[in-house]
Structure 1
């Protein structure tokens, strides 16, 4: 049943990616150049829905959160590599697969890069455990936990901030 829900969720997300036009290379490039905020609006909207949905399902006991430890070294290095890859090929993992589904074969370079990166990561993992994975280890952190407040308070504040950002982007015509 989990696989079925995963399939349905993936198809729905792919449909939304396609309808939001975020699979297009020009939208990706526009986001990287801060000239087209379509992808930013898409991501913020989905983050807003997801954070409410996940915490609601968690509070109802239908899902269990599985937090990963905050490790600054790994997060920073991973973010730099991800950003470099996105900047070089103009696709992130989800949009590259969706773009291939739409017939954009240039996105195969992004998929090839991800596979090569995964292979390199697997090969280097043991060495990373003794270095990068030891830099800035803070354990399993959440913003509500750090602040000592209800997760719903943090969610409401973030919803207000994200809504204000979306409104600002819309007013600027981006």
Structure 2
């Protein structure tokens, strides 16, 4: 059984609906495997491209059939189903689905670096994750709540839930 923390975000179109569709798809594909879903948070965009705010959430899911690359494939399928286009790095997107951690896997593979290489710098990942697992630890970095305490999250606000 593998357990993954996923970070989902959207800032194009109906942001909340894109997130809801992704969560619903995961619940369908992983019967009984969606363990927890955070609130939805409005967050400022990351990176140099001017764009609208994101809606972000974190979720914890498990599967007896997926390894780390299986989780990556699942995230890519979610993005594809949402019509994501990859034309601008850090640009706007209908859905961004990132694998943050899978169990205690550490990987430096360019296709799948685990834990996510910038998760410790991103309050929009850590805040929703801490909501659903306050005892979480980011491998090789430390407790999520400790990491979050060192980041500015003043511009992040909860805006409800999906579904």
Is the TM value for this pair above 0.5?
no
The structure with the largest helix share of the pair is: 1
Per the normalisation by structure 1, the TM-score is 0.29
Per the normalisation by structure 2, the TM-score is 0.31
The structure with the largest strand share of the pair is: 2
Q: Which one scores higher on RCO, CA 8 angstroms, separation ≥ 6?
A: 2
Q: Which has the larger radius of gyration?
A: 1
